Amino acid sequence: MKKNIVFFEVQGGSDKGPDGHRKDTMPMVDALKAKGWNAEVIFYSDDKKYEIFKYVSDNADAYVSRINPGNIPGGESTYFDLLRALSAVGVIGMPHPDAMLNYGAKDALCKITDTGLVPEDTLAYYTVEALKEHFPTTVSITQRVLKQNRGSTGEGIWRVEVVDERPYEQGKPLPLDTKIKCTEAVDNHVEYHELGAFMEFCTQYIVGENGMLVDMRFMPRIKEGEIRILMVGDKPIFVVHKKPHDSADAFSATLFSGAKYTYDEPSKWQTLVDMFLAKLPTVMGKLGGYEEPLIWTADFMLDWDEDRNDKYVLGEINCSCVGFTSDLDRGIQEAIAERVIKVVTGKKAQPVGV
């Protein structure tokens, strides 16, 4: 065991501080060093991938990916190929690139609709044809939320409501000239479109690498806030209650859109935490069987069950590059260092081939 951990970053981007690093990277490096381990940062670029592979495979026990896939020049494919190659020669991935894809892609929700965490009528559209075939029907039944697989902070996430004055039948496809009201989560701005034109606009989210749209029922109780569990491995660290701005059309829980954040200990949301942890092994199995990502979040919304009791609906999982700059004073970097050491020590102690 080399007791050396590599953190991957890319140069440039709005997430960097004056030293050129993400503001949450060096605190993790320092936390590992304080525990007697070495840690270093390597800036990834496509033209150096072979050199990087050689160095990391020779010198590191594990890597921690701190790159938002959207910030990689030329796309994520070559970077993920490097991570897979490193994992194949025994460098522990935190997380493995396929775990990033399986957990973090929006269609993860569609794979766990039978767990009770996600409404069973949640759909994924991988082709423009599928969108045009099914969305005119789903939006006739109830308000829907369309979520693109790319983007962040609410970009390309649309709440869609029928506002046409003409009568229509629920469960039957709506005409393409149906008037709809569309609210984007990034800033809660409202646009009015005809259904056909809006679906044409949404084709941009489907075409291209890892393009897709998830079609999910709108949860009116999002007005009461989104509840985010921040996890380090299998351990809940804290819960963030994110309440949207108090305005008529607001449903986004991002800071950019004016949401208010309250940080709580997991014990304040014990019912939710216990429920999620109990279902976690099943969720992991359905999302590829990978172990929990190093740093990840699960976002929930409130709903009612058939007896009008509170229940929680999973709206999203994030694991590609969860930021926690505002949470450094909570000691999350210490928990991360402990998890890294625990995983590496455990895996390196196993016999070869296990």
Note the pLDDT tens digit of each residue in 14-38. 788 899 899 999 999 999 999 999 9
Which amino acid appears at position 121 of this protein? D
Paired strand residues for 241: 227, 262
Tell me: do 228 and 303 sit in the same domain: yes
Q: Estimate the crossing angle of helix 49-59 against helix 77-88, to 10 degrees.
A: 30
Q: How far apart are CA 312 and CA 76, in angstroms?
A: 33
Q: How far apart are CA 206 and CA 212, in angstroms?
A: 4
Tell me: do 214 and 152 sit in the same domain: yes
Would you state the structure tokens that stand for residue 327, as one six-digit string? 């949470």
Tell me: do 46 and 85 sit in the same domain: yes
Tell me: do 72 and 163 sit in the same domain: no
Per the structure, the complete domain to which residue 146 belongs is given by 119-219
Q: Would 178 be classed as within a structural domain? A: yes
pLDDT at res. 232: 95
Tell me: do 136 and 55 sit in the same domain: no
Q: Would 328 be classed as within a structural domain? A: no
* Final residue before a domain boundary, out of 173, 201, 219: 219
* Final residue before a domain boundary, out of 219, 238, 258: 219
CB 288 within 8 A of CB 102: yes
| Domains in the chain, number | 3
Residue 236: in which H helix or E strand, if any?
strand 235-243
10 Å Cβ neighbour count for 133?
Answer: 12
Q: For the chain, give the mean pLDDT.
A: 90
CB 23 within 8 A of CB 325: yes
* Final residue before a domain boundary, out of 204, 219, 234: 219
Q: How far apart are CA 310 and CA 194, in angstroms?
A: 35
SS3 per residue for 116-150: CCCCCCCEEECCHHHHHHHHHHHHHHCCEEEEECC
Residue showing tokens 């697989």? 149
**Domain CATH for 88:** 3.40.50.2300
Q: What is the dihedral of CA 258, 263, 268, 271, to 10 degrees?
A: 60
Residues in the chain, overall count? 354
Q: Would 354 be classed as within a structural domain? A: no
Tell me: do 213 and 143 sit in the same domain: yes
Tell me: do 192 and 245 sit in the same domain: no
Q: Would 329 be classed as within a structural domain? A: no
Q: Would 343 be classed as within a structural domain? A: yes
10 Å Cβ neighbour count for 315?
Answer: 25
Given strand 38-43, what is the order of strands in its sheet?
38-43, 4-9, 62-65, 92-94
Q: Would 353 be classed as within a structural domain? A: no
CB 244 within 8 A of CB 227: no
Tell me: do 215 and 226 sit in the same domain: no
CB 13 within 8 A of CB 312: no
Instruction: Give the pLDDT band (50/70/90) at residue 354.
Output: very low
Tell me: do 142 and 84 sit in the same domain: no
Q: How far apart are CA 161 and CA 182, in angstroms?
A: 7
Range list of H helices, the chain: 25-34, 49-59, 77-88, 97-104, 128-141, 195-202, 270-286, 332-348
Residue showing tokens 């991570």? 83
Note the pLDDT tens digit of each residue in 285-319. 999 999 899 999 999 999 998 899 999 999 989 88
Note the pLDDT tens digit of each residue in 80-106. 999 999 999 999 999 999 998 888 888
On the question of pLDDT at 63 being above 90, the answer is yes
Q: Poorest-confidence range of 80-94, 202-216, 246-260, 327-341?
A: 246-260
Tell me: do 164 and 209 sit in the same domain: yes
Tell me: do 226 and 292 sit in the same domain: yes
Assess whether the previous peptide bond of 136 is cis (omega < 30° from 0).
no
Tell me: do 210 and 241 sit in the same domain: no
DSSP 345: H
Q: Poorest-confidence range of 58-62, 189-193, 208-212, 273-277?
A: 208-212
- pTM (predicted TM-score): 0.87
> Which has more pLDDT, 152 or 41?
41
Q: Would 31 be classed as within a structural domain? A: yes
**Domain CATH for 313:** 3.30.470.20
Residues 100, 106, 112, CA angle at the centre, nearest 5°?
90
Q: Would 114 be classed as within a structural domain? A: no
